[in-house]
Chains A and B, each alone.
Chain A
Amino acid sequence: MSVENIVGQGGEHLVVHGLEWTAKELFTYPNEFIYWSIQIVMYPYMTGLVAGAFVLSSLYHVFGQQDLKTIARFSLVFSLALLPVAMMPLQFHLQQPLRGMNVMFTPHFTSAIAAFGIVFSTYAVIVLSEIWFVYRKFFVDQIEILKGKEGAVDRFKYYLYLLLSLGAFDTSDAAVAKDKKAVKILAGIGIPVACFLHGYAGFIFGSVKANALWMSPLMPVIFIMSAVVSGIALCMLTYIIIMEFKKWSAIIAKGKGDESVQVIAGAELDVITKTSRYLLGFLIAAITLELLDLIFRGYTAMKSWDILRSVMYGKDFIHIFVMQYGIGNLLPFIMLLVPGLSIRRVFFALIFVLFGVFMMRWNVVIGGQAFSLSFAGYMHYHMPIIPHNMETYKEGLFGALTVFATPFALFWVINKVTPSLEYK
């Protein structure tokens, strides 16, 4: 339908939200469009990365998995970089973005979205607190180092660290021990809160009885599992990239045969191999639940099954079975299990995993809107690629890319304040 430039009686440009990127087929209700598009796919994806990164960090702090020590600090800071980005897709999606804070002012707790807002704020507080306890000694040390310095950047950093220390200057062993204890407790609380967080994201969809694909009690659990998978995968991936960069820096500086290169490479492979075991565990859990949901639906064959089947086995077959289950689950599963794991193989496996989790979000959000409420028609989503107005930017490819790129930019900034990349 090419009615984008509808001009209203007052001459104002009328944009029917969703009209431009929705192609309708057969019988759909007049008001049906794909209202929840790419940004609603990004939202659980980004919050999943936050939760997953945090869980990975907590595995070290709570369960003392020493092999994870190096990656733990990094993933904690990275989850901080991801936190504000979790709000971005919502700000891009809301028709009234300036009213977004209303969720904090008058939360209607019967709505999963309102509850999610509160849970997410709690989670943000936990992550921030934990980082404070991890870095407090570092802040105080920096204050000492920067005390006499004169340069503008140094003065700024001095006052920044002063503020961040919250006036807690005691770096005695007793105080630091308290910090470590606090970290352990926060990390411990953080794991169930991260589960709660992603359970809620799943509940947002799973509780919508009007949507035949979303309505399922398994949704919260599926979301939790795939969130952890994506978080671990992203942390591992970023860790590999950074370690490879360090390795190549060492090679350029000292030559290939130098011992430091071997140390880096060895440590990297060790950490990655052990972390990938955890990844596999959650991957298995995620795929099991999704297959269970599918099999159950096919077996019980409720009223919606005919249209769902035509969507899943027909129109979305490639999205679901080839991209998500095949490339996103089965392939990395095999790649991680075959003996003789190498960094290169893990690298590609992780990219496939991240792709798979993204496709899972896509198949839930977009797939759930691929069929009409009438069960007698379809809607196709054509994601806007080249934006020509604010709406096609915000709810298009470039909006999604902006959201995806921001945590890396933020991490670069945050890492200057709370450095997390030293290696042993």
Chain B
Amino acid sequence: MKNHVLRPLWVVLAGIALLLVVRHFLVPSDFGVEEGGNFTYNYHRLSSIDDWKNFKVKYRGKQYCQECHEENVESLLDSPHEIIECENCHGPAIDHPDNPETLAIDTSRAQCLRCHTYLPYPTSQRSELPGINPQDHNPGENCVDCHNPHNPDLENM
């Protein structure tokens, strides 16, 4: 009689072997520690980094807009709003003008109040921005009804 005592061990080893076989098929072949890295911080599927590199870019930046919308951009650059990106109010360009054909412009009061609600904070640049009290200054109205966002100084209108 062969020693039956080791039988559970064979079952365990078979289980481990099965696990390794399944693992071979289910785990991507480029899983591991990248060259020069360590197990603690660099253990991963190496091609994951390409997934992130290939993520779609949405915001193009002012120079991209300038290629076609020169007049608007020039006007903006001549005003205190030159520091603002077109896409801050016009939304990300993505593949405009192909997709989307037009960009939805945020002309809401809330958009302007982001900077122009006056907040009296001594240690912040916020208190140096020209601002209003939204409850006093034409409450409920859209700022763009009077102020041109590309050239907001009322005297220049």
Contact = CB atoms under 8 A, between A and B. Distances in A.
B4 A168 contact: yes
B1 A175 contact: yes
Contacts of A125: 8, 12
A104 interface: yes
A178 B1 CA distance: 13
B57 interface: no
Interface string A167-183: 11010000100110010
Contacts of A182: 5
A170 B4 contact: yes
Contacts of B39: 108-110
B5 A178 contact: yes
A166 B12 contact: no
B54 to A, nearest CB: 21
Interface residues of B, number: 17
Contacts of A136: 4
Interface stretch (B23-31, B97-105, B148-156): B23-31
B11 interface: yes
Chain B CB within 10 Å — which of A104, A105, A136 has the most?
A: A105
Contact of A166 (B3, B8, B26, B43): B8
Contact of B7 (A105, A110, A166): A166
Interface in A331-361: none
A106 B4 contact: no
B8 A132 contact: yes
Contact of A105 (B8, B11, B27): B27
A167 B11 CA distance: 12
A129 B8 contact: yes
Contacts of B49: none
A178 B12 contact: no
Chain A CB within 10 Å — which of B8, B11, B26, B40 has the most?
A: B8
A167 B7 contact: yes
Interface string B1-38: 10111011001100000010011001100010000000
Nearest to B19: A104
A172 B18 CA distance: 33
A101 B39 CA distance: 20
A168 B11 CA distance: 13
A128 interface: yes
Interface string A309-349: 00000000000000000000000000000000000000000
B31 to A, nearest CB: 6
A110 B40 contact: yes
Contacts of A104: 19, 23
Contacts of A129: 8, 12
Nearest to A107: B43
A110 B39 CA distance: 8
Contacts of B23: 104-105
Given A128-B8, A132-B8, A106 B1 contact: no
Contacts of B43: 106, 108
Contacts of A108: 39, 43
Contacts of B19: 104-105
A101 B27 CA distance: 11
A101 B12 CA distance: 17
A168 B8 CA distance: 11
A170 B8 contact: no
Nearest to A104: B19
A156 to B, nearest CB: 21
Interface in B43-88: 43
A182 B40 CA distance: 38
Nearest to B3: A178
Interface string A187-226: 0000000000000000000000000000000000000000
Contacts of A133: 8
B13 to A, nearest CB: 10
A181 to B, nearest CB: 8
B7 A106 contact: no
A128 B4 CA distance: 15
A178 B4 CA distance: 9
A125 B19 CA distance: 14
A105 B22 CA distance: 9
B137 to A, nearest CB: 30
A178 B43 CA distance: 44
A27 B7 CA distance: 59
A166 B11 contact: yes
A397 B40 CA distance: 37
A133 B5 CA distance: 8
20 contacts: A101-B26, A104-B23, A105-B19, A105-B22, A105-B23, A108-B39, A110-B40, A125-B8, A129-B12, A133-B8, A136-B4, A166-B7, A166-B8, A167-B4, A168-B7, A170-B1, A170-B4, A175-B4, A178-B3, A179-B5
Interface of B: 1, 3-5, 7-8, 11-12, 19, 22-23, 26-27, 31, 39-40, 43
The 10 A-B pairs of least Cβ separation, nearest first, read A168-B4, A129-B8, A166-B7, A105-B23, A110-B40, A105-B27, A170-B1, A125-B12, A108-B43, A178-B5
Interface of A: 101, 104-106, 108-110, 125, 128-129, 132-133, 136, 166-168, 170, 175, 178-179, 182
Given A101-B26, A109-B39, A129-B12, 5 more contacts: A105-B19, A106-B43, A166-B4, A168-B4, A178-B4
